[in-house]
Every structure is written in C-alpha cells, then in structure tokens.
A and B are shown apart, each in its own frame.
Chain A
Amino acid sequence: MIGSRILLVDDEIIFANNMSKLLTSRGYRVITANNGESAIRELEEKDFDVVVLDLKMPGMDGITTLKEIKKLGLFTETLILTGHGSVDTALEAIKIGAYDYLAKPCEINELVEKIEGAWSKKDDGEKKDMQEKIQRVVESPADAFKLFKKKK
C-alpha cells in the first residue's frame, strides 16, 4: 500500500539506508533504526504499519526487540529478516507473533511483496479489532472506553 509507514531495523547502516532508499522510491514512508532500543523508541513516538526487523543485532537482539514490540500492544505487523542459518530463530519469532520471515540477501521485490502482505494483515486486524470495539461500545460502553484509553 503506497504511503505505508515502515520502520526498518538493521545494524548494518548501509544496508538499512539502501533499503530505505529503495522502499522510499517505491512510495513507502521509511524510518530506519540501527538497534532494538531506538526501534522501540521510534515505535513509542510514532505510528507504523510494518516493522522490518533483523534478527542478528548487537545489544538487544531481534527476538527481544520483537517481544518488546509485542508488549507495546500495537497493531503493527513485524517482518523478520534473517540469515538462512537462523531459520529456527525465525520460526521462534513467528511463534511469538511475527508476520513472516525473509532470508538475507533478498530481492527488493520479495521484500515489497511481504510488506504488502503484512500490511493487509495489519489492516484486517485493525478492522476486526475496530469492529469488536464497536460491538463492545454497543454492549458495554464503559469497558470499551477503558480499552481505548489503554491503547494510547
């Protein structure tokens, strides 16, 4: 979806910048972060549709970052980038709640495809969630209010 907001997390600065350039030229709005901590900070400040997350990073690694993201309780979907050898970790990440994974090095087109997939899932999830909330507002407005408040 053109205009989707993407957070690209990778410790390889050149790779992150290149990817950012490529995605920007394809119409996305991209912000890069070079480690887990700054990624969490960005997520707390701004809204993103999709997070592209490298698993192998110094300091806070991909899995921990993912867990932190999940703790934030956002609708953002996470896409894992990984070396082939850490497929197991990638699978673990999916168990925790990542949308999918992609092996490095990868074609830009593959990445775009996965981002689109992630986006539409996020969109679906948001819509469904909205519907649930509307339902609750109808049934019990007080509860729903609490839910909305917690979200922000």
Chain B
Amino acid sequence: MKKHFFNGNNDSGKYGKTYSKLFRNFTGLTIVCSLIPLLLVGWGINIHYTKFAKSRMINSIQSRVEHHGEIIKLFLEEHSSKLKLLAFTQSKAYLREPAHLQHIFEMMNREHNVITDIGVIDENGRHIAYIGPYDLMDKNYFQTFWFAEAMEKGIYISDMFMGFRKEPHFIIAVTRCEEGQKWILRATVNTQAFRSLVENVKIGKTGEVYLINKDGIFQTSPRFSGNIMETAPFPTGPYHDDVTVNLFKGDNPDASFSNQIMAETWLPNPQWKLVVKQDYSEAFADVNHANFATLIFLHLSAISILIVAVFITKYMISVIKKRDIQAENLNQQLMQAGKLASIGELAAGVAHEINNPLAIILTERQILIDLFGVSKTDDAEFSEQFKASMDQIDVQALRCKTITHNLLRFSRRTQSMIETIDLNQFIQEVIELMEREAKTSGIKFIADLDTSLPPILSDPSQLQQVFLNLINNAIHAHKEKSYGTIRITTRIDETKKGVQITFADTGSGISQKNIEKIFDPFFTTKPVGQGTGLGLSICYTIIKQLGGDIAVKSKINEGTGFTLCLPFDLPAELKESMMAS
C-alpha cells in the first residue's frame, strides 16, 4: 500500500529546468553585483593612475630638458663673459704680445681645460696673435661667415664647424672698438668638454640627448640617431621659446619617432635645440609594469570571484534540491495521512449504509425461522435445505458484519483519540491487516502474546501507524530473502509500569554505521521513490509523545528487533491537551 503511494514521485528531473535557471540567475546576479563593479573600479583606478603617472613622467622629462638647457646656457654665457671681460680690460696692443696672450691662455685653462686656442684678429681678418696647438697665424678670416657677424654684433657664438683644422668645433668671438679701430678676441671652446656636457647624459637604454641647430645639423653626437656635424634625417622645426614635450605613438607616419617621447627646448644664443628623447616603452616601463601587475591582479580576483560564485551557487542549489526532495517526501507523507483519513470517512459511511439492510436480512431470516418452527411440514428434504440455507444466510451476514465492523474500526483509527486498548487484540488485528502483503513476500507472522497483559490507555490511531510502519519496514528488509518471519511479542515491563512490544524480523539487519541514523528524519537506504526516511522518525515522535520509548537492536544479515515500551497510562500533560482539544 505504501509503495503504491510513493511510486516515482521523487524524481528531481521535473525541477531540472528550474534549478538550471536558478543557477543562471544566481551566478548572473553575483557577476552583476560584484564582478562588474570590481572591474569598473579597477579599470577606472588603473586608467586614472596611468594618466597620473604619465603626466608625472612627462613633467620630469620636461624639467630635465629645462635643467640641461640651463646648464648649457650657463656654460656658454660664462665663457662669453670671460672673453668679454678680457677684451674690454686689455688693449689690443697688450694682447698681441704672444707672451701676454700665452699667460692669459694658461690662466684660463688653469682649472679646467676649457679653451683650445685663443687669438686676436684685426679688422681686416688677419690673425695678429694666436696661442694654440694649430698653426693658424697666417690665416685670414675675412672671408669666413663668422667674421662679418662678429664684427657686426659685438659677440658671436658659432655653430659647430670644421674650419681650417678639419675638426668639429665652435668659437666665441668678442669684438672691441678701440680708438676707432675694431678688433676681435676669438677663442675656440674645448669641444670635448662641451660635448661631454651633453653627450655624457645617459637616460636609460634608449634615451639620448643632443643639440641640433636650426639647419638640422647635429651639434653633438646623438647616441643613436647620427653623428656630430651630420644633418639629421628629420625636420627641426622653427625656433620658439617654450619647452615642448611630444609623444610619438606607434601610428606616427614619421617612422623615426615612432614610439618615442621627445622633449625639446631652444637655446637663445646660439639658436640650438636641446633634445631629450627616449623610447616610449622604456620611459613608461615602470608605469606599464605596475599597470600590468594591477590588471593581472584585478583579473585574477575577478576570475576567483567567478569561480567562487559558481561553486557557492552550485552548493546552494544542491542544498535547495535536497530540501525540495525532503519537502516533497513530507508532503507525500501528509497526503498519505490525508488519504487514509478520507478513506476512513468513506469506509464509515459505507459500513453504516450496509448495516441497515443487513439488519433487515437478519430479521427476515429470524421471522422465517420462527414461522418454520410453528408450521408443520413433513418434507424432510425441505426442512434440511431450509435449515442449511438459514444457517448460510446467518454465516454470510455475519461475514458482512465483520467486514463492516473492521472498516468502521479502521476509520475510527484514522482519528486521534484516547482509548483503552487491549494490545493483544489490537496486534492481532494489525497482523490480519498485513498478513496478505507479508505472505506474498514469503513472510510469516508469529504472535507471542502475553495473555495477562492488562489493557492500556493510549491513542489507537497513532499506535496503528507505528505498528504498520514497523511491519512495513520489516517486510521490506526481507527483499533479498525468499522467506522469513516477523515475531511480535508482548510482555509486561520489568518495572511493571507498562508493556513491552517487540517486533523482531529475520531481514537484512542494519549496519553499525546506519543504526545511529535510522530515527533521523529523511534517513533512508532505499532508492528514491521507495523510501521517504520518515517512517521511523514518525514512530519515534509518536512513541515519545505517548510517554513511551523505542529501541533497536540489529545484527547484519540476521535481523532487526524494535522494542517499544508503552506506559499503562498516558502522561498527564498529553491527556490534558487531548481533553482540551
């Protein structure tokens, strides 16, 4: 009967779709609520930081070029003012004396070797005095580009040029007008010292610093782009006052500057451009590195959140699934109880309706028997048959009566009430009810009943449920065996305060591991759809409520015994609550 109610309803398949939808929703929600904000914030901070770091980088490169420009300017100014001082404090007559000039030359180079040579040139471009390593005394400079300029402007600093000595150098020339006659004091700056001032500035692996004039000719040797006095392969641009910083990304059509950062400033005199240039990737290597690390970290956290979300959701859904199955089982148990109650009601109605015609049949029979008694018939055969028929009517009517009375009793036990119960008789009735089902499994009932058992006060409907559950379990435990017995014993408790009922079967037994759990709700070893795991927990609850106790003993493969102890009388509080309701 039980099996019939529970067939194949626990299949979680019909909820499969709901669960996968639930899974999608949960993970979706987690992603929307945690991943997206995380990524947005992460990316936002990253972009902001990159911008900040880049602008710092640009500022630093800008101040660097400013700083270097300043140094070079100072260098040039210092040398020009030295020469100016010299020219305006000494007369041409004094300076044209080689000994005097030699002395001055030595004095100037005393600390650092700053000038290579020095000479005095008259207004016609002729060298009138010269100290230096080259033999230049007889050179006439009238035709040179700088002579005219110097004569005109009073001071002149040249670009790098080869000149007579076939070596890149530049000169500073100061013109003085003495007694209406102009003369020039000219010095060649130590190119080595000057160039090292620029060329020795090393920036990273790809950085270079160089000077270039308006015509695009290198004034110092750049580290990579070319050599001094060579023409740069790219345009120089016009002179201007400010410091500029340009970023040349990879998509720049001018290949010479691709992926470079370039800061430049123009010196006022001579108009040279100081350029500080570095590969973009190197300049921003630190920023990019930090960026990369944070992005990796960000995405790793995002992935781990995703994984955790998926796992948590999976776990949650498995818990929900389990709960659903349990709820379903409970529901079925309730439904079964409900069904039983309505069957009970129906049975009671039917029994009542049948009792009346049955009563009439019996009275009719009695009337016939009475009449037969007073009538005189000689027909012996008729008499025989009449008596036999009347007996048979009685027997069959009694059979009907038993059936209706059983039905009524069954229906009465679907409602809770306190009653005096003759346990022995009660058990006999339960056995009768279950005998047919047990027989089909090859199981026999053995009733070992103590006839001295006094009636007890209890709730028959609840007891019936307990007994049926225990017997059902016992029958089920014989699944693997072709025959077996269920022995039901009643005894008076040793303490004489109640009765002891034992249900001992010869079934599969319960393993040591499981025996602690069998009274737990939803514990079952039966396949889904066959066991609800509620039977024994219900038994336990009922027996405890009735003031009794339930215990189990089992040996694997040999059998299981459940012992119930029930008090003669119900606990006072239960009685009160039953009375109240």
Give the number of residues in B that approach A within 8 Å (Cβ atoms). 23
A152 to B17 Cα, complex, angstroms = 83
Closest to A19 in B: B363
The reply to whether the CB of A70 lies closer than 8 angstroms to some CB of chain B is no
Given A56-B352, A105-B358, A84 contacting B408 (CB threshold 8 A): yes
Q: How far is the CA of A105 from the CA of B412 in the complex (A)?
A: 19
Among the stretches A10-18, A31-39, A122-130, the one at the interface with B is A10-18
* A67 close to B (CB within 8 Å): no
Q: How far is the CB of A62 from chain B (nearest CB, A)?
A: 13
Chain A: interface size category: 10 to 19
Q: Mark B63-91, 1 if CB is under 8 A from A, else 0.
A: 00000000000000000000000000000
Query: Beyond A105-B359, A105-B397, is A85–B408 a contact (Cβ under 8 Å)?
Result: yes
The answer to whether B360 and A15 have CB atoms under 8 Å apart is: yes
Give complex CA distance A12, B360 in Å: 9
Contact of B355 among A19, A84, A107 (CB under 8 A): A84
Q: Are A83 and B352 in contact (CB under 8 A)?
A: yes
In whole angstroms, how far apart are the Cα atoms of A120 and B579 in the complex? Answer: 36
CB of B391, distance to nearest CB on chain A (Å): 13
Shortest beta-carbon distance from B351 to chain A in Å: 6
Any A CB within 8 A of the CB of B162: no
A19-B370 Cα distance, complex, nearest whole Å: 12
**Cβ–Cβ < 8 Å partners of B351 in chain A:** 83-85
A9 CB → nearest B CB, Å: 14
| Proximity string of chain B (336-361) to chain A, C-beta cutoff 8 Å, 1 when within and 0 when not | 00000000000010011001101111
Hey, which chain B residues are within 8 Å of A108, CB to CB?
363, 366
- The residue of chain A having its C-beta at the shortest distance from the C-beta of B370 within the complex is A25
In chain B, positions 392-414 with a C-beta closer than 8 Å to chain A are 397, 401, 404-405, 408-409, 411-412
Q: How far is the CA of A22 from the CA of B365 in the complex (A)?
A: 10
From known contacts A84-B355, A105-B397, infer whether A15 and B363 are also in contact, taking CB-CB under 8 Å: yes
Q: What B residues does A87 contact at CB under 8 A? A: 412
Contact among A22, A84, A105 with B370 in the assembled complex (CB-CB below 8 Å): A22
Is B366 within 8 A of A83, CB to CB?
Answer: no
Closest approach, in angstroms, between the C-beta of B16 and any C-beta of chain A? 47
Chain A residues 58 to 113 lying within 8 A of chain B, measured CB to CB, are 83-85, 87, 103-108
Q: Is B362 an interface residue when CB atoms closer than 8 A count as contact?
A: yes
CB distance from B401 to the nearest CB of A (A): 6
In the assembled complex, which residues on chain B have CB atoms less than 8 Å from the CB atom of A15?
A: 356, 359-360, 363
- With the chains together, A107 CA to B359 CA distance in Å? 9
Closest to A87 in B: B412
Taking the closest CB of chain B, its distance from the CB of A67, in whole angstroms, is: 22
Return chain B residues, CB-CB under 8 Å to A84. Answer: 351, 355, 404-405, 408-409
- Taken together as a complex, chains A and B put the C-alpha atoms of A105 and B355 apart, in Å, by 6
A18 touching B352 by the CB < 8 A rule? Answer: no
Q: Is B364 an interface residue (CB 8 A)?
A: yes
A108 to B369, CA, bound (A): 11
Residues of B within 8 A of A103 (CB): 405
Residues of A within 8 A of B (CB): 12, 14-15, 18-19, 21-22, 25, 56, 83-85, 87, 103-108
Q: Would you mind naming 13 contact pairs between A and B with Cβ atoms under 8 Å apart? A: A12-B356, A18-B364, A22-B370, A83-B355, A83-B356, A83-B408, A84-B355, A85-B351, A85-B352, A85-B411, A106-B362, A107-B362, A108-B363
By Cβ-Cβ distance, the 7 closest A-B pairs, closest first, are A18-B363, A105-B359, A85-B408, A105-B358, A104-B359, A84-B408, A83-B355
